[in-house]
């Protein structure tokens, strides 16, 4: 009877050892934890890079220190304009320049906010054949200027209305 318990104990020990998961040991040290900081409405600072989370994913480096990175110097002021679609048509962005975060689509009877810090332009085409061109700029006095051509007008200073 003693042998039966002894064999059972050996068998249970062997089965138990086979059931425990192994422990993996890494050769290289773990990287230090990273920090993500949100800067403003559209920029994210992750490690050594700045990401524009707007329409185009623009990446800059802290080491570059150039304009538009928001790091390494005084960041450019950010201005805001509103694009309002008063029609039932859907507007689609066909071309743009500059750092503005123009929306790719603006559905009928809706509005969207655009931020910019330098001259930016956009062309929109509607699904009913109409179009508009937008120019957002900063004048020499550091004030925003907003203009449009086509099926649009400016309302309340910085609101572009598609008619």
Q: Facing residues of 50 across strands?
A: 45, 60
Q: Facing residues of 33 across strands?
A: none
The answer, yes or no, to whether residue 55 has pLDDT greater than 60, is: no
The percentage of the chain sitting over the pLDDT mark of 70, rounded to a whole number, equals 54
The answer, yes or no, to whether residue 31 has pLDDT greater than 70, is: no
Integer Cα distance of 65 and 31 in angstroms: 25
pTM of the model: 0.56
Which range among 75-79, 82-86, 136-140 shows the weakest confidence by mean pLDDT? 75-79
| Range 13-22 burial, b when 16+ CB lie within 10 A, else e | eeeeeeeeee
Which range among 70-74, 76-80, 81-85, 121-125 shows the weakest confidence by mean pLDDT? 70-74
- Retrieve residue 119's tokens: 């001259």
Half-sphere exposure of 90 (CA within 13 A, CB side): 5
Return the CATH class of domain 79-162.
Answer: mainly beta
Domain edges within the chain: 34-75, 79-162
Integer Cα distance of 118 and 123 in angstroms: 17
């Amino acid at each position: 009877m003693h042998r039966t318990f002894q064999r059972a104990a050996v068998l249970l020990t062997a089965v138990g050892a086979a059931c425990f998961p192994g422990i993996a040991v890494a050769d290289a040290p773990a990287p230090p934890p990273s920090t993500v900081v949100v800067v403003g409405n559209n920029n994210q600072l992750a490690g050594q890079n700045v990401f524009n989370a707007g329409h185009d994913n623009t990446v800059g480096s802290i080491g570059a220190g150039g304009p538009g990175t928001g790091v390494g110097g005084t960041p450019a002021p950010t201005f805001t304009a509103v694009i309002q679609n008063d029609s039932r048509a859907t507007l689609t962005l066909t071309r743009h320049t500059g750092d503005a975060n123009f929306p790719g689509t603006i559905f009928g009877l809706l509005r969207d906010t655009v931020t910019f810090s330098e001259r930016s332009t956009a062309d929109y085409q509607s699904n009913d054949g109409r179009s508009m061109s937008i120019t957002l700029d900063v004048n020499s006095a550091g004030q925003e200027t907003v203009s449009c051509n086509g099926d649009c007008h400016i309302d309340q200073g910085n609101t572009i209305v598609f008619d």
